[in-house]
Structure 1
Amino acid sequence: MIDQGNMILAYWNEHRQQLRQSESQRSTITNFILVITAGLTGLIVQQQFSSATIPLGILITLIGLYGAVTTAKYHERASYHLSQARALTATLREIGALPDEPRIAEFRKIHYATYPRLHRIRLHWLWTGLQLSISVYGGALSAISILS
């Protein structure tokens, strides 16, 4: 029979794998959106910002908005799985299957001291901001096409 610690550890591992999958999917969708945006931009420029390219600019805007919402959702899922894994870590410590590691807090303090500004920037805001900037870029391309 499997002991309680091993069962909790297996469950912990599942949540960590789901977290990694959310981050991987976020990365993949971002790459797809960047490639699609680059291709549509090339087409708009090739057509010299004619009025026929206005829908392509609007499409880039919509794709950027979709990317922002999707990125936020992947962050929500990753955050959920991280919180579940942290709860299971606490349980493992409580039942004695995982020793308390005081050096983790020490090294965290060293890390924060080394990167006093960067550690405050939330990575998901950078990813969501990238997607929103793609949306604004699509709007700008549409505006240029309208004004041309």
Structure 2
Amino acid sequence: MAGEVDVLLQMYQEQHNQARQLETQRATLSNLIIIIASAALGFTAQRGLEMIMLIVSLPMVGLGVYGVLACLKYHERSVLHHRAARRFSRSIEERLPTLRITDGWAELHTQQRLRFPKIFKVRLYSLWIALHAGVAASGVALSIVIFIRES
């Protein structure tokens, strides 16, 4: 039985490692998008809201939309890995019921929800999506202002 638990534990750990890798990739992508968007906004501020600046504002829309889609995909994959890890965790608990893994997680979850009742309901991925949507919205707003000023 110890060999089975070791295999399950290794598989559990691998799923968490995959989820952690996805979060690292998401953070890297988000940082890159924010840096590019900041540079685009700075460049637009220096050059002014002329029609030529659409070559900066319109790609910002695409960049923000790409960030939203990428964050949604990272979230989907993360959920997959966390669910797989929970399955392995349950399998370990079936073999070693005295560990009470499920009860421990449920207790921690309840304590966290009670300690942070308002922010607990906010999903982290929705904050990342809002950030990238803000980049896209900035590009849209700049483009609209440019069109209005040039009309």
CA distance in 2, matches of 1:15, 1:107: 21
- Which residue identity lines up with residue 45 of structure 1 in the other structure? A
Decide whether aligned partners of structure 1 residues 98 and 139 sit closer, same or farther in structure 2, where only a CA change above 3 A counts.
Answer: farther
1:116 alignment partner in structure 2: 117
- Which residue identity lines up with residue 75 of structure 1 in the other structure? H
Tell me, yes or no, if the aligned pair for 1:61 and 1:135 is still in contact at 8 Å: yes
CA distance in 2, matches of 1:103, 1:68: 34
1:136 alignment partner in structure 2: 137
1:22 alignment partner in structure 2: 22
SS class of match (1:119): helix
Tell me, yes or no, if the aligned pair for 1:5 and 1:97 is still in contact at 8 Å: no
Tell me, yes or no, if the aligned pair for 1:60 and 1:134 is still in contact at 8 Å: yes
- Which residue identity lines up with residue 109 of structure 1 in the other structure? T
Q: CA deviation at 1:103?
A: 4.3
Tell me, yes or no, if the aligned pair for 1:55 and 1:142 is still in contact at 8 Å: no
- Write out per-residue CA displacement over residues 39-92 of structure 1, whole angstroms, 9 at most, x where no aligned residue: 111111111111100121110000000000001000111110000000100000
- Which residue identity lines up with residue 106 of structure 2 in the other structure? A
2:46 alignment partner in structure 1: 46
Decide whether aligned partners of structure 1 residues 37 and 119 sit closer, same or farther in structure 2, where only a CA change above 3 A counts.
Answer: same
As a proportion of its length, which structure holds more helix? 2
Task: Count residues with an aligned counterpart.
Answer: 147
TM-score (norm 1): 0.93
Tell me, yes or no, if the aligned pair for 1:33 and 1:63 is still in contact at 8 Å: yes
1:100 alignment partner in structure 2: 100
Identical counterparts, % of pairs: 26
CA distance in 2, matches of 1:79, 1:103: 20
Cα RMSD over matched residues? Answer: 1.6
CA distance in 1, matches of 2:98, 2:25: 31
CA distance in 2, matches of 1:98, 1:83: 22
Decide whether aligned partners of structure 1 residues 98 and 123 sit closer, same or farther in structure 2, where only a CA change above 3 A counts.
Answer: farther
Q: In the alignment, does 2:37 pair up with 1:37?
A: yes
CA distance in 1, matches of 2:106, 2:144: 51
CA distance in 1, matches of 2:105, 2:142: 48
Query: Where does structure 2 lack aligned partners over 5 or more consecutive residues?
Result: none
Q: CA deviation at 1:106?
A: 3.0
2:7 alignment partner in structure 1: 7
